[in-house]
Amino acid sequence: MNKVLMKGNEAIAEAAIRAGCMHFFGYPITPQTEVAAYFSKKLPKLGGTFLQAESEVAAINMVLGAASAGVRTMTSSSSPGISLKSEGISYIIGSDLPCLIINVQRGGPGLGGIQPSQSDYWQATKAPGHGDSHLLVYAPESVQEIVEYVFTAFDKAEEYRMPAMLLLDGTLGQMMEPVCFDNIPTPKKNEKPWATNGHKNEREHNIVNSLYLKPEELEVKNFERFERYAKVCENEQRYEEYMTEDAEIIIVAIGIAARVSKSAIDEARAMGIKVGLVRPITVYPFPTKAFDKIKENPNVKNILTVELNMGQMTDDVKLALECKKPVELLRHSGGIVPTPKEVLAKLCELNGGNK
Amino acid sequence: MAHNILFAGFGGQGVQFAAKVTTYAGMMSGHEVSLLPSYGPEMRGGTSNCAVRIDSKMIASPIVNEPNILMALNQPSYDKFAEKAEAGGYIIYDDSLIKRSDERTDINVFPIPATKLARENGYTGLANMIALGYMAKKTGFLSLEDIKEGLKKAVPASKAALLDKNIEALDLGYNY
């Protein structure tokens, strides 16, 4: 195994290049600037396009253009920058185009702070832009998993003709871990008969557009898109279960919160507390299937969500459980990451409450 | 084995590099590793710190709240982190720049005038490696050979000429 140490941000860019993404458009913002920096060093030498746009709005519209032409393309930003991009994201969704958007989240709202956060969960999963719209949203927890899901995100975005997002936090962008590129998949070569590329007059010209002035046409378009979303919800749920088999308390957490929770779980298990973790890897679609058994399992006494926001994912957890289990929330906001000690204290409290 | 190490100092003292060398050393010697730097305004002129975890088991969280080894290269870092060090752990600090500000007796504290040694022996800018060599000696967290292997991996090809000086600085600290 050939391992190298890489920052999460660098691994995003390396994985994307290996997945055949030769067109990156971005604008710098902490804590994700290394994504663009890495592309700027590599892409020109490979004959690709690296462009630092004049703004986030420009960058996402360049992605719209490149995606229309049928090439693999992406942009990257952090929370305030993603808000700026949201108009363009909606246009890309409305145009049924695949692309990859990275959000390395920082504390908000407003300019907020620059420390790690998960406070764009609602934005990513419920309202990435205006209109009836969704993204495929992946929330990996390690640098190696970032690499894996960059590939998945591009493939699935093309399969379903919708943009995909990697929803990370500042910790994952900045941290270094060993990563191995030995077993990466071969990027899929999806046919793109809709692309507005050169064709030497051998076919009718294609139009990529998100404007439908007749409401009947727009409604048909939206119903068709939501049929695809239904397929996504049926087929694309991904999650990890960690020590859930005999668990009486189940933590639900993503990204860095999941990793902190795993530390706490290891300590709690050593103390005899039966606790496990469900870690959603896709957050749109939310992995409701992970909760089908849990919600009917009499051994499960408590659910604990651990979030770097005011409790945005907790709503989805309650829905998935159909409110059949009590859900407690441990939260930090503004850029603070909970410590394993805090999580452990909460687990002890919940465990004591059961006796 | 499990080590939660915190490297801290001014931006420019090579804290991040020492952390990277250590992380590579851990990885090359067959352990699980993670490195988490501080980022943002803290780095610019203020204190910079970097958390490294080395473990024989999978690493869950990369965050180090209570280091069992602290390397402090400036006063603000010592003042901020000495109290957080785990009981029974180690503090390696540069006593040519730092006046010890705590009264703890439950940790092993080892001063080394790394910056002064660097200046006097022609290793200006390599106080980080001197302190790292000393840390290896005093804590035994990895062998000196492991750290040298990590160093070889951490020095980019474009700066290979600097490798020998770095190795000498490690030796100087180890033999202090």
Structure ipTM: 0.92
Residues pairing with A104 in the sheet:
A168
Output the domain CATH number for residue B132: 3.40.920.10
A336 phi and psi, to 5 degrees? -95, 135
Average pLDDT over residues B87-113: 96
Q: pLDDT tens-digit profile of A226-284?
A: 999 999 999 999 999 999 999 999 999 999 999 999 999 999 999 999 999 999 999 99
Residue range A203-229: average pLDDT?
Answer: 97
Question: What integer pLDDT is reported at residue A285 of this predicted model?
Answer: 98
A68-90: per-residue pLDDT in tens?
999 999 999 999 999 999 999 99
pLDDT at B108 over 70: yes
Assign 3-class secondary structure to chain A: CCEEEEEHHHHHHHHHHHCCCCEEEECCCCCCHHHHHHHHHHCHHHCCEEEECCCHHHHHHHHHHHHHCCCCEEEEECHHHHHHHHHHHHHHHHCCCCCEEEEEEECCCCCCCCCECCCCHHHHHCCCCCCCCCCEEECCCCHHHHHHHHHHHHHHHHHHCCCEEEEEEHHHHHCEEEEECCCCCCCCCCCCCCCCCCCCCCCCCCCCCCCCCCHHHHHHHHHHHHHHHHHHHHHCCCEEEECCCCCCEEEECCHHHHHHHHHHHHHHHHCCCCEEEEEECEEECCCHHHHCCHHHCCCCCEEEEEECCCCHHHHHHHHHCCCCCCEEEEECCCCCCCCHHHHHHHHHHHHHHHC
CATH architecture of A3-192+208-235: 3-Layer(aba) Sandwich (3.40)
Tell me if B20 and A176 make a contact (CB, 8 A cut-off). Answer: yes
Position A188 confidence tier, pLDDT thresholds 50, 70, 90: confident
Reported as a pLDDT band with limits 50, 70 and 90, residue B117 is: very high
Task: Kindly list the domain boundaries of chain A, sorted by start residue.
Answer: 3-192+208-235, 240-354
pLDDT tens, position by position, B133-170? 999 999 999 999 999 999 999 998 899 899 999 999 99
Residues of A with Cβ-Cβ distance to B28 under 8 angstroms: none
Q: How far apart are CA A175 and CA A290, in angstroms?
A: 28
Q: Do B63 and A171 touch (CB under 8 A)?
A: yes
Q: Looking at CA atoms only, how far is residue A175 from chain B in angstroms?
A: 4
Q: Is the pLDDT of residue B44 over 90?
A: no
CB B10 within 8 A of CB B135: no
Partner-chain residue, chosen from A5, A31, A260, that has the shortest CB–CB distance to B61: A260
Contact B101, B79 (CB under 8 A): yes
Q: A342 falls in which pLDDT band (50, 70, 90)?
A: very high
User: Which residues of chain B are within 8 Å of residue A169 when distances are taken between CB atoms?
Assistant: none
Q: How far apart are CA A251 and CA A281, in angstroms?
A: 14
- For an interface test with A, the pick among B7, B23, B32, B39 (most A C-beta atoms closer than 10 Å) comes out as B39
- Report yes or no: A41 at the B interface, CB cutoff 8 Å: no
pLDDT at A155: 96
Confidence (pLDDT) at A185: 87
Among A152-166, A197-211, A217-231, A314-328, the range scoring the smallest mean pLDDT is A197-211
pLDDT at residue B42, rounded to an integer: 59
Taking alpha carbons only, the member of A83, A68, A345 closest to residue A205 is A68
**For helices B144-154 and B127-139, angle between their N-to-C axes, nearest 10 degrees:** 150
Q: What is the pLDDT of residue B67?
A: 98
The stretch A150-175 carries a mean pLDDT of 97
Q: Does A260 touch chain B (CB under 8 A)?
A: yes
The closest alpha carbon to B2, from A309, A248, A263, belongs to A263
**Residue A18 near residue A41, CB atoms below 8 Å:** no
- Kindly state the average pLDDT of the residues A211-226: 98
Q: Which two tokens stand for residue A207?
A: 């139009």
Is the CB of A340 less than 8 angstroms away from the CB of B23? no
- Tell me the angle at which helices B15-28 and B144-154 cross, rounded to the nearest 10 degrees: 110
- The Cα–Cα gap between A75 and A159 comes to 19
Q: A232: which 2 tokens? A: 């996504």
Q: What pLDDT, on a 0 to 100 scale, did the predictor assign at position A205?
A: 92
Enclosing domain of residue B146: 2-174
More confident residue, A161 or B1: A161
The verdict on a CB contact (< 8 Å) between B27 and A263 is: no
Q: Taking Cα atoms as reference points, which of B63, B68, B96 lies closest to residue B173? A: B96
- If one counts the domains in chain B, the total is 1
Band of pLDDT at residue A355, cut at 50, 70 and 90: very low
Tell me, yes or no, if A336 comes closer than 8 A to chain B by beta carbon. no
Is A111's pLDDT higher than 50? yes
Report the 10 Å Cβ neighbour count for A355.
4
pLDDT averaged over every residue in chain A: 96
Confidence check: pLDDT of A297 > 60: yes
Asked if A341 lies within 8 A of B63 by C-beta distance, the reply is no
Q: Which of residues 82-141 of A touch B (CB under 8 A)?
A: 114-115
pLDDT for res B11: 84
Is domain A240-354 annotated with CATH 3.40.50.920? yes
pLDDT of residue B43: 55
Query: Nearest CA of chain B to the CA of A79: how many Å?
Result: 15
Q: Using a CB-CB distance cutoff of 8 angstroms, which residues of chain B are in contact with residue A340?
A: 60-61, 65
Whether chain B has a CB inside 8 Å of the CB on A337: the answer is yes
Which amino acid, one-letter code, is at A189? K
